[in-house]
Amino acid sequence: MTDNSCQNSWVYSDEVKEHFLNPKNFLMGDESKYKYDAKGIVGNPICGDQMCMMLKIDKKTDTILDVKWKTYGCASAIASTSALSELAKGRTLNEALKISAQEIADYLGGLPAQKFHCSVLGHEALKNAIDNYRQNSQNNL
């Protein structure tokens, strides 16, 4: 039998609501005004969402100094990427790549299981940005 109720399991945590309504590090306006060292753009073929992420990186220590992002993604993708952007700042590139969907969900006080995949979108954009940064660094040697 199908459960047709729309109750407890549909409730977002207060942290998810806060990060959705007031996303951290969201890029407002024209990205050409933001100077960045790395940029990644990915799309989720399942739902057609797109995510763009830009990083400022300390080249000597490989540390992420700042993160900006924007997306067409859903509320969970927005909240998850807001959390990811806060978690990534101050970490080295390798440390940032290890941020897991579970760490993001924990930071947000939980995510409904059906929305876990939304946190992957931001992480893929982060990985894409880091891959592009490393590729460009190799090419400039």
Residues annotated as catalytic are 47, 118
Which pair of tokens denotes residue 32?
């050409």
Provide, rounded to whole angstroms, the least separation between the CB of residue 84 and ligand FES.
13
Q: Is residue 101 at the binding interface for ligand FES, with CB under 6 A as the rule?
A: no
Beta-carbon contacts of residue 130 (< 8 Å; ≥ 6 apart) = 38, 40, 55, 93, 96, 97
Q: Which of 16, 27, 70, 73 binds ligand FES (CB under 6 A)?
A: 73
Q: Which of residues 6-65 bind ligand FES (CB under 6 A)?
A: 44, 47, 49
Q: Is 107 helix (H, G, I), strand (E, B) or coil?
A: helix
Q: Which stretch binds ligand FES (CB under 6 A): 58-66, 69-77, 99-107, 124-132?
A: 69-77
- Decide: helix, strand or coil at residue 88: helix
When asked if residue 103 is in the footprint of ligand FES (CB under 6 A), the reply is no
Query: Could you say whether residue 74 binds ligand FES (CB under 6 A)?
Result: yes
Question: What whole-number distance in Å separates Cα of residue 46 and Cα of residue 29?
Answer: 27
**Run of H or E including 55:** strand 49-58
Please tell me whether residue 118 binds ligand FES under the rule CB under 6 A: yes
Q: How many whole angstroms separate alpha carbon 137 and alpha carbon 131?
A: 10
Rounded to a whole number of angstroms, the minimum distance from the CB of residue 81 to ligand FES is: 9
The answer to whether 85 contacts ligand FES (rule: CB under 6 A) is: no
For the CA atoms of 95, 96, 98, 103, what is the dihedral angle to 10 degrees? 120
Which residues contact ligand FES by CB under 6 A? 44, 47, 49, 73-74, 76-77, 118, 121
